[in-house]
Structure 1
Amino acid sequence: MPAKPPLRVGLIGTGFMGKTHTFGFATAPRVFDLPFDLVLDTVADRTDMLAANAAATLGFAKGTGDWRTIVADPAIDLVDITAPNALHKEMALAAIAAGKHVYCEKPLAPLAADAREMADAAEAAGVKTQVGFNYLCNPMIGLAREMIAAGELGEIRSYRGVHAEDYMADATAPFSFRNDPVGGGALADIGSHALATAEHLLGPIAEVLGDCATVIRERPDGKGGARAVVTDDVGRAFLRFANGASGSVEANWIAMGRKMQHDFEVYGSKGALVFSQERFNELRFHSAGDAAGRRGFRRIEAGPDHPPYGLFCVAPGHQLGFNDLKAIEIARYMDAIAGKAEEPFGFRKGLRIQSLVEAIHDSSRAVAWTHVS
């Protein structure tokens, strides 16, 4: 069997998502027939020592305290950005200018104008991009999309989506990059997932009516004082889809007790679907065509009949995990870099999500329906 060409990866950031990306890079070649031999080359962190420790732990050949070292290295083919949101633009544009492919965690950038600049630059340079929306790689969400497209639910009438967690619920937690206006807020940070899922399933959102609230109005500044917070803790929006359906989404990072609620409900004229990330190997389906006395939501359990589940496990009900979704995302992205497929969720789609976020913020301020261009 001929050797595959190497694709050398440089990772910027070693926090939660940096580790998740690394697990994805380690798993993908062992599950999928990738077009490349993935090489974990260099990892960047805040200092050389932190980077060296991360390289040893995560399996990279070397580490650096300066992310620019990765961008400047001619051996690096792919720059993977998992740094704080406000840093994405500078890092991505530098990597694109150096001719690198760029994989960036969501949100792509704090402002739609920045995301547009990044998308335009990538397309002009001819590099392949990916934004980290790995929840969309779940076989159960893929099944839901197929069922909706095939008309199994009939005419789609309404949609409800929510992404709620409690990692910002503690009012005594210090001000962080998440609270900085250039970092986003709940709607950009986790509402982006709810919006991406809504459009993935039902198509374009045409209009929004937003309501964004800052609940914890100040946080400790780490210096004995307090710092005002202006970013949203909860972001909600009513939606009007281009296909005529209506719906809503909510982003809430102060939802006490919720660790990973990424849920949706889709209601049609012939049936309905219900999904919860807290049980993300299941999809619940109700059919109005069932006989009277036999109607109700039935559970569809993930298994080898729902690709690519079978590549991970031959037995149904044994379940995929969060990091497996990242491996699926990476495998699809590798096919795009090799020219075998379109970008699964490139920078242009990342721009679309940020445009929706900004439209909801604009609508909330204006207290009026806002058209999404």
Structure 2
Amino acid sequence: MEIGIGLIGAGYMGKLHAVALNAAPAVFNTKLRARLEMICTTTENGAKEKAEQFGFARSTSDWSTLVNDPRVEAIVIASPQTTHREIALEAFKLGKPVLCEKPLGASLADATAMAQAAQASEQVNLVGFNYIRTPATQLAHQLIKEGVIGDITFFRGEHTEDFFANPNASATWRSSGDSNGTMGDLAPHMINCAHVLVGPIRKVSAQIETVFKTRPSECAPNIVEQVTNDDVAQFMCTFENGATGHLLFSRVALGKKMGIIYEIIGTKGALRFDQEDQNTL
């Protein structure tokens, strides 16, 4: 049994989705197999090149062509956040399942409209929160659900990396646009983790900061560009169940490559996880 997949976006995450779609049947022994039907990138030549590289049958530079193609039965959105809403709404209108990369939209309004469209369509849908699926975190979720650590009283989480820690690194798409900053890029994973493991957040007191306010232009290093989004963000919070917490996010944390870390304190015990030692809880 096959399902025709259309992939929009061929950057870092687009490539990973293509690899995962090919590997999933062998890894999980599924009867349903992905047929890599069509890929979409910003140019026709680029799309054709990525189709050959990733194993897609066809390519296009027009996302609408992909979404409306009858042989494309499910959509993976791995394009910039500002494009997510329009693509998802069209796919749901046509009754096609959607897997959308995080953050869901470029704004609260985008995300709300997409969630409402997904609910109305009754189609299978998913946001790409992959880190909550790791075996250790699934075990943490099970232990919490079984009451092993008692009632949760405190949660501390962080997602810290150092890919923008060099102040002389060139400005890129990451250095402009609210949804491309740390709050849009790194924060969603740990906020999702907090929601899954502890529950909804009731209130926050937050701070964001741009550490390196200018960067050399990618096209002309002698020209300086303003950085218009955040490098670091943090907030204290209170969950609906009464637990308190602190969450930290940074793309300029030297030495951190995949610093997804959380500590959960309960009335009977505690849990700690670090993604850089991902098989230990």
Q: Shorter-normalised TM-score: what interval?
A: over 0.9
- 1:81 deviates by 0.9
What is the count of residue pairs matched by the alignment?
A: 279
CA distance in 2, matches of 1:176, 1:88: 20
CA distance in 2, matches of 1:220, 1:100: 43
Q: 2:238 aligns with which of 234, 237, 240?
A: 240
Question: Greater relative contact order (Cα 8 A, min sep 6): structure 1 or 2?
Answer: 1
Q: 2:94 aligns with which of 92, 95, 98?
A: 98
Does residue 34 (structure 1) correspond to residue 42 (structure 2)? The answer is no
- 1:165 deviates by 0.7
Flag structure 2 segments of 5+ consecutive residues without an equivalent.
Answer: none
CA distance in 2, matches of 1:260, 1:276: 9
Does residue 251 (structure 1) correspond to residue 255 (structure 2)? The answer is no
Q: TM-score, normalised by structure 1?
A: 0.71
Q: Map 1:197-276; keep pairs closer than 5 Å.
A: 197-222=193-218, 224=220, 225-276=223-274
Residues 84 and 183 in structure 1, CA contact (< 8 A), matched pair in contact too:
no
Does residue 68 (structure 1) correspond to residue 64 (structure 2)? The answer is yes
Q: Map 1:74-93; keep pairs closer than 5 Å.
A: 74-93=70-89
SS at match of 1:267: strand
- 1:33 deviates by 4.4
Letter of the structure 1 residue corresponding to residue 231 of structure 2: D
Match of 1:12 in 2: 8
- 1:98 deviates by 3.0
Flag structure 1 segments of 5+ consecutive residues without an equivalent.
Answer: 284-373
Match of 1:190 in 2: 186
SS at match of 1:230: coil
CA distance in 1, matches of 2:143, 2:201: 20
Match of 1:181 in 2: 177
Change (3 A) 1:86 1:169: farther
Does residue 159 (structure 1) correspond to residue 155 (structure 2)? The answer is yes
Letter of the structure 2 residue corresponding to residue 121 of structure 1: A
Root mean square deviation of aligned Cα = 1.7
Comparing 122-131 with 170-179, which one deviates more in the overlay?
A: 170-179
Q: TM-score, normalised by structure 2?
A: 0.93
Does residue 143 (structure 1) correspond to residue 139 (structure 2)? The answer is yes
Match of 2:48 in 1: 52
Percent identity of the aligned residues? 38
Residues 84 and 177 in structure 1, CA contact (< 8 A), matched pair in contact too:
no
Q: Map 1:224-373; keep pairs closer than 5 Å.
A: 224=220, 225-283=223-281
CA distance in 1, matches of 2:143, 2:259: 22
SS at match of 2:95: coil
- 1:37 deviates by 2.8
Cα deviation code 1:298-356 (max 9, x no counterpart): xxxxxxxxxxxxxxxxxxxxxxxxxxxxxxxxxxxxxxxxxxxxxxxxxxxxxxxxxxx
Cα deviation code 1:200-222 (max 9, x no counterpart): 11111111110111111122344
CA distance in 1, matches of 2:179, 2:245: 27
CA distance in 2, matches of 1:49, 1:184: 26
